[in-house]
A = this chain, B = another copy of it.
Amino acid sequence: MAGTPRVRSDAARNRDALLCTAARMVAEEGASAVTMDRLAAEACVGKGTIFRRFGNRAGLMAAVLDGSEAEFQARVMRGEPPLGPGAPPYERLIAFGVARFQESVQRIDLLEAAGGGRSHAAYSFGLLHVRHLLAELGVEGDLPLLAAAVLAPLEVPLLRAQLEVQHLPLERLTAAWIDVASRVVGVSPTR
């Protein structure tokens, strides 16, 4: 069987099926439910196949996370306003923060299982997007670092401490973030 085109496309299909099954298990039961044993059983493949494809559990989780990050980025770049294009930049900025909070909370155990936070690529995407919005808003200053400061309260380790150690409600975190972002941007949050 080895060496034929058929095998390669089977491998790709296998990988997609494994990722789809893993993402479904995460959505239904949380990341902690996804063990290599359970995934092998649910996807009807050998455990060796999963290890060959993803290296280890953190690698599998990172691949599941990449898929969900791609969906998030598509919503920002091509989705409905105010998160997507078409809304004024202040509204897009607030929509981005609110959506990142929601997405982070939904995936917090997946982010943890994948190594403790967002990938560098996912972080860089947010940084570039917020930097462009600050420029559109006419904010003056060191825009890449102002963007990093605006995004810093959305980082996973801090968010995790606030949600799981301090037990702060997401609504309060979101409201305070909107206040901070508005102060940095110089726009009243009530508009």
* A interface with B by C-beta (< 8 Å): 116-117, 120, 123, 141-142, 145-146, 148-149, 152-153, 155, 157-158, 161-162, 165, 168, 172-173, 175-177, 179-180, 183-184, 186
Contact = CB atoms under 8 A, between A and B. Distances in A.
A145 B158 contact: no
Given A141-B179, A142-B179, A149-B180, 7 more contacts: A117-B157, A145-B172, A146-B176, A148-B162, A149-B177, A180-B184, A183-B186
A148 B163 CA distance: 13
B176 A145 contact: yes
13 contacts: A120-B161, A142-B172, A142-B175, A142-B176, A145-B173, A145-B177, A148-B153, A148-B162, A148-B176, A149-B177, A155-B158, A157-B157, A183-B186
A27 to B, nearest CB: 27
A120 B162 CA distance: 11
List of 5 A-B pairs having minimum Cβ-Cβ separation, nearest first: A145-B176, A152-B152, A149-B180, A142-B176, A149-B153
